[in-house]
Structure 1
Amino acid sequence: MFSFFNGKRQTKKNMKKEQNSSDQPNSNTKYPGYIDNTLSTNIDIIRKRTGNSSDIVFRSLKIGRNPEIKTAVVYVKGMVDSQSVNDFLIEPMMNNPALQEKIIPQEVLTIITEEVVALGGVKPVNDWDELFGSLMSGNTIIFIDGVSEALIASTQGGERRSIQESTTYVSVRGPKEAFTESIETNIAMVRRIINNPDLWIESMKLGKMTKTDVSVMYINEIADKEIVKEVHKRLKRIDLDGILESGYIEQLIEDQTLTTFPTLYHTDRPDAVAGNLLEGRIAIFVNGTPFVLLGPAVFIQFFQSVEDYYERYDIATAVRFLRIFIFFISLIGPAVYIAITTFHQEMIPTQLAIIIAAQRESVPFPAFVEALIMEITFEILREAGVRMPKAVGSTISIVGALVIGQAAIQAGIVSPAMVIVVSITAIASFATPSYAVAISARLIRFLFMISAATFGFYGLILALIMLLVHLCSLRSFGVPYMSPIAPFIPGEAGDTFVRKPVWAYKERPRLIATENLIREGKDQRPQPPANRQIDNQNQNIKKGDQNET
């Protein structure tokens, strides 16, 4: 009895499924490999393959006379430049005299290509896979009844974000423009800086569903050919459904995954990409994101800014030392406080030790638990401030300052000294130029806190040694991550902790560029006029003044 009703219910479910499947077109409908010569058949294939989507526009036309030839223009709404489609494609096809005469279908393709369409990138196609790829990329397809080929017209356009100032890598001096989500715009911005035919670009599509445009850019006479081959090898090995951002590619082509440190540099500044290309690095552009990947990357590169090369070398060197000092503060600040207050009180001046002890008298937790509470609280507030809307973000900051500062101290949960240490550490993490390295420091900071709370300064020094060994073991496309410090290369150490003058950059990094190492001519050092010449000029000026009097 129950089996009868279950079978009846199952039959009804199957009937409903069959009805739904018959009503809706199947996206996996098989279609022939080549385009048919019947217009209606081709239109039906597009409708079935795209699920009869509402954003696919079909514009029917009739050209010629005796007989009239049916024509259709197909494009995706929102991905094409509508003005170009109307002014340079549809209107010329309707009004061109050559298409109003008695012609045969085979002549229509030639007339449209050579006399009618005033657009670049017009080419015939007879393969459905290529046609659908072009259609979904923003191109327009032209079908002619009786012809087993179609025309692809380049009409990519639509609404895109305009070029704006970089909000991630801000600089006081230097260009203000930043990359956008359009790969064509980003490539053109670098082309404007490096006006050289040796700037080569190789494009491909990654992602079985997204078909994302990816381009590899390098300077032919400078980049290492082996590294270029390795980049192509790793990119071609990618087999995913979709590539939505350059971070997908970064995680798939890096040398080592068990590390928190980034082994590929990313930026949204065209001048930074151009500078790295001139050193021999390779840039990877991904459509849909303003961030470009650069490799090979070295550790010291994440503490450099493009503004360092626009300012005087002495000022840039001082700022670089400050950034590295800031990084160490963000990395070991709470750990040093825990080690000193827990194990090494003799290192604190007596008067300061008495003040700290008096403050911690009412705190019920040890220094490690106190620092852990403060760090976790601050990380929660930081993440909330990033994810919350801008209108609420200021409120979160005010509430967080009250919670971390006055309320936590008055409640006796933390001491004022710990609030100062955690605040300085947080500010230091914000001052690190690279956001990826700052996140790594935030995570490793907890390991240093555990080491300091367990063994004091001995544990802290041991953790630093382990971190240094880990950094020396990393590679970026085979290049040592800590170069030119480890291995130490004296000739290239002038662009690490210090920044040499521009006239002293005679060669490119040897571990990155293997060809055309010379980057500037001889005697580029400034040569002011000699004192004798200045004295002669002053004497001539005095003689001129006497003659006037």
Structure 2
Amino acid sequence: MLGNLFKKREINPIKHLSFESYLKTFVDIDSEPPKESITVKQKLNQIFSNSFDFSERSFHLPNNRPVYICYFSALISQPQLEESVIKPLLHHFDHVTTSENLGSIITVTKYERVTDWNMAVQSVLDGNILVHIDQLDPVIVFLAEKLDRSPNDPTTEYQVYGAKFSFIEDSRKNVGVMRQFIKDPRLKSKGYDVGVVSNTQVAVLYLEQYCEPKVIQHLDQLIKSYKKEHLLTIGQLTKYISKHPNSIFPQATMSERPDLVAYSLIQGKVVIFLDNSTFCAITPVTLMDLLETSEDHFFLVRWNLLFIRILRISSLFIGTILPALYVALVAFQPELIPTTLTISVAQSRVQIPLPATAEAILMMFALDVLVEASIRLPSFVGQTIGIVGGLVIGTAAVEAGIVSHTMVIVIAFTAIALFTTPSWEFVSSWRIIRYLLVGVSTLLGLYGLTLAVGFLIVHLCKLDSFDKPYMYPLAPFDKYELKRFFLPLR
């Protein structure tokens, strides 16, 4: 009896039909729709049943010829439908003899005759209008009106200089924004419809003669091979095209700033836009690329750029290794700490019941919780919670004797240093590595920390993004490119 009670139940997976398989249950998708408008109306009502936003218009021309129009109400411009389609049909009905001469009647620049049911259904789903005059072939009138908004200030990539607007959720308009930055016929774009169910529009942008052709060919093959049911976020596609999806480091970066994207295109990179996403993906990237911002090129004094980039690299190194180094020195090699500092650290830890490792993990975890909470909370309380929470938790933990003053200083400086890195995805990777380094330092001390950093460097040297070495220009070493990174040419 108990065996039957705890027996694992078999769950039958739900089998989803593809878009074309679903349509085949109603019509022959490769056949032409009939010329009888009443038949077309019946079939479309079956296909789009239980859809309250599916709208239809049926009326007769003055010569008693039936007309059937269908569309999704939220995806078209209703005034344009009246002015550009319905009124011209009613006023010039006597000129309607074939589907081809509709262009001389309706005041819409683009329309197309329907060749099969698949085209008819897909076009309506894209936000266009199907117009069917009885005994003529149905036509698709392109009057789609996408729900978009005006560009706003970037919300995640704050900069002193640079453009003060970001991308929107329309991939076509985002490509248009980039054509304002780079007015060159070599700026090429490719379009894809990806996802069996979502049918999401993807745009790939690159600069010919700057980007390597093999990167475009490989990316084209990857996107065309995407056979999943849906594609809703840029992250889904980025993970799919990454050569090393299990690596802790991102092989692409995301941005919402047009000026950064323009600079990336000039560097020979590929930019991927996605409908319904304000961020684009930039690939291939290197570790040095993830430390750059478009603002760097606004500096009038090149030595300022040198200082900023050295500061970012130093901060990345400190923000990752400092907690593990503290644990290794305090727990295993205190003799390596200067005598005066050793006495100060020992005095601050006299009443602390926790070992240095538990201190470090507790404070890092509290810091990450505060960061995540401040992101998820509404903007008008998020910053307050982050500041107040940090002060209250840090002060209370020290006064309660749970952590030492030195550990609070180490963790606070670690947090500030790591957030000088421009890429949030890159920062998140180093936050995870920070925990791993603390764990290794707990087991093997300074030797373990050195060994872990060595393995980390080996992994970074082995990694690549679309066959471009991740550590370039450090490995392979290129002194000219390295000099350009720190002191770019005038």
What is the TM-score with the length of structure 2 in the denominator? Answer: 0.91
Q: Which of 35, 38, 44 is the aligned partner of 2:36? A: 38
Tell me, yes or no, if the aligned pair for 1:39 and 1:70 is still in contact at 8 Å. yes
Amino acid at match of 2:182: I
Map of 1:11 onto structure 2: none
Q: Which of 258, 271, 274 is the aligned partner of 2:246? A: 258
Amino acid at match of 2:150: S
Tell me, yes or no, if the aligned pair for 2:464 and 2:470 is still in contact at 8 Å. yes
Q: In 2, Cα distance between the equivalents of 1:90 and 1:50?
A: 23
Tell me, yes or no, if the aligned pair for 1:74 and 1:141 is still in contact at 8 Å. yes
Q: Which of 247, 263, 273 is the aligned partner of 2:235? A: 247
Q: Which of 444, 450, 457 is the aligned partner of 2:433? A: 444
Map of 1:469 onto structure 2: 458
Q: Which of 397, 410, 415 is the aligned partner of 1:426? A: 415
Q: Residues 199-223 of structure 1: CA distance to partner in whole angstroms, max 9, x if unpaired?
A: 1111111100000001111122322
Map of 2:115 onto structure 1: 126
Deviation at 1:47, TM superposition (A): 1.5
Map of 2:347 onto structure 1: 358
Amino acid at match of 1:41: T
Map of 1:55 onto structure 2: 53
Q: Which of 184, 188, 193 is the aligned partner of 2:172? A: 184
Tell me, yes or no, if the aligned pair for 1:385 and 1:393 is still in contact at 8 Å. yes
Deviation at 1:256, TM superposition (A): 0.6
Deviation at 1:373, TM superposition (A): 0.9
Q: Which of 146, 165, 175 is the aligned partner of 2:153? A: 165
Q: Which of 149, 158, 162 is the aligned partner of 1:174? A: 162
Superposed, 1:366-385 pairs within 5 Å as: 366-385=355-374
Q: Which of 472, 480, 484 is the aligned partner of 1:483? A: 472
Larger radius of gyration: 1
Amino acid at match of 1:112: L
Amino acid at match of 1:433: P
Q: In 1, Cα distance between the equivalents of 2:55 and 2:251?
A: 45
Tell whether 2:296 aligns with 1:308. yes
Tell whether 2:219 aligns with 1:223. no
Deviation at 1:391, TM superposition (A): 4.3
Q: Residues 201-252 of structure 1: CA distance to partner in whole angstroms, max 9, x if unpaired?
A: 1111110000000111112232211111111111111111000011111010
Q: Which of 189, 196, 205 is the aligned partner of 2:184? A: 196
Tell whether 2:108 aligns with 1:112. no
Q: Residues 309-333 of structure 1: CA distance to partner in whole angstroms, max 9, x if unpaired?
A: 1213221121111111111122112
Q: In 2, Cα distance between the equivalents of 1:405 and 1:121?
A: 64
Q: Residues 38-61 of structure 1: CA distance to partner in whole angstroms, max 9, x if unpaired?
A: 111111211111224110111123
Q: In 1, Cα distance between the equivalents of 2:459 and 2:264?
A: 25
> Structure 1's 259 and 326: CA in aligned 2 closer, same or farther, altered over 3 A?
same
Map of 1:92 onto structure 2: 88
> Structure 1's 28 and 424: CA in aligned 2 closer, same or farther, altered over 3 A?
farther
Q: In 1, Cα distance between the equivalents of 2:326 and 2:436?
A: 14
Deviation at 1:493, TM superposition (A): 2.0
Tell me, yes or no, if the aligned pair for 2:398 and 2:404 is still in contact at 8 Å. yes
Task: State the SS of the aligned residue for 1:159.
Answer: coil
Tell me, yes or no, if the aligned pair for 1:404 and 1:419 is still in contact at 8 Å. no
Deviation at 1:378, TM superposition (A): 1.6
Q: In 1, Cα distance between the equivalents of 2:418 and 2:110?
A: 49
Tell whether 2:163 aligns with 1:152. no
Deviation at 1:143, TM superposition (A): 1.3
Task: State the SS of the aligned residue for 1:30.
Answer: coil
Amino acid at match of 1:241: E
Q: In 2, Cα distance between the equivalents of 1:197 and 1:82?
A: 36
Tell me, yes or no, if the aligned pair for 2:234 and 2:280 is still in contact at 8 Å. yes
Tell me, yes or no, if the aligned pair for 1:47 and 1:53 is still in contact at 8 Å. no
Task: State the SS of the aligned residue for 2:86.
Answer: helix
Map of 2:263 onto structure 1: 275
Q: Residues 479-518 of structure 1: CA distance to partner in whole angstroms, max 9, x if unpaired?
A: 111112211123322333x0313x3xxxxxxxxxxxxxxx
Q: In 2, Cα distance between the equivalents of 1:85 and 1:194?
A: 35
Superposed, 1:502-517 pairs within 5 Å as: 503=490
Amino acid at match of 1:443: I
Q: In 2, Cα distance between the equivalents of 1:320 and 1:58?
A: 60
Map of 1:71 onto structure 2: 67
Deviation at 1:386, TM superposition (A): 1.5
Gaps of 5+ in 1: 1-25, 504-549
Tell me, yes or no, if the aligned pair for 2:370 and 2:390 is still in contact at 8 Å. no
Tell me, yes or no, if the aligned pair for 1:29 and 1:48 is still in contact at 8 Å. no
Q: In 1, Cα distance between the equivalents of 2:68 and 2:330?
A: 80
Tell me, yes or no, if the aligned pair for 1:262 and 1:437 is still in contact at 8 Å. yes
Map of 1:339 onto structure 2: 328
Identity of aligned residues (%): 31
What is the aligned residue count? 466
Q: Residues 328-365 of structure 1: CA distance to partner in whole angstroms, max 9, x if unpaired?
A: 12211211111221222233332332222111111111
Deviation at 1:172, TM superposition (A): 1.0
Moved more, 351-360 or 394-403: 394-403
Tell me, yes or no, if the aligned pair for 1:124 and 1:150 is still in contact at 8 Å. yes
> Structure 1's 495 and 243: CA in aligned 2 closer, same or farther, altered over 3 A?
farther
> Structure 1's 404 and 195: CA in aligned 2 closer, same or farther, altered over 3 A?
same
Deviation at 1:129, TM superposition (A): 1.2
Map of 1:29 onto structure 2: 25
Tell me, yes or no, if the aligned pair for 2:152 and 2:164 is still in contact at 8 Å. yes
Q: Residues 385-423 of structure 1: CA distance to partner in whole angstroms, max 9, x if unpaired?
A: 222233442453255224421111111111111111111
Amino acid at match of 1:181: E
Tell me, yes or no, if the aligned pair for 2:26 and 2:46 is still in contact at 8 Å. no
Tell me, yes or no, if the aligned pair for 1:29 and 1:49 is still in contact at 8 Å. no
Tell me, yes or no, if the aligned pair for 1:472 and 1:481 is still in contact at 8 Å. yes
Map of 1:284 onto structure 2: 272
Deviation at 1:108, TM superposition (A): 4.5
Map of 1:3 onto structure 2: none
RMSD: 1.8
Q: In 2, Cα distance between the equivalents of 1:416 and 1:200?
A: 56
Deviation at 1:87, TM superposition (A): 2.5
What is the TM-score with the length of structure 1 in the denominator? Answer: 0.81
Task: State the SS of the aligned residue for 1:456.
Answer: helix
> Structure 1's 364 and 28: CA in aligned 2 closer, same or farther, altered over 3 A?
farther
Gaps of 5+ in 2: 1-21
Amino acid at match of 2:124: L
Deviation at 1:158, TM superposition (A): 4.3
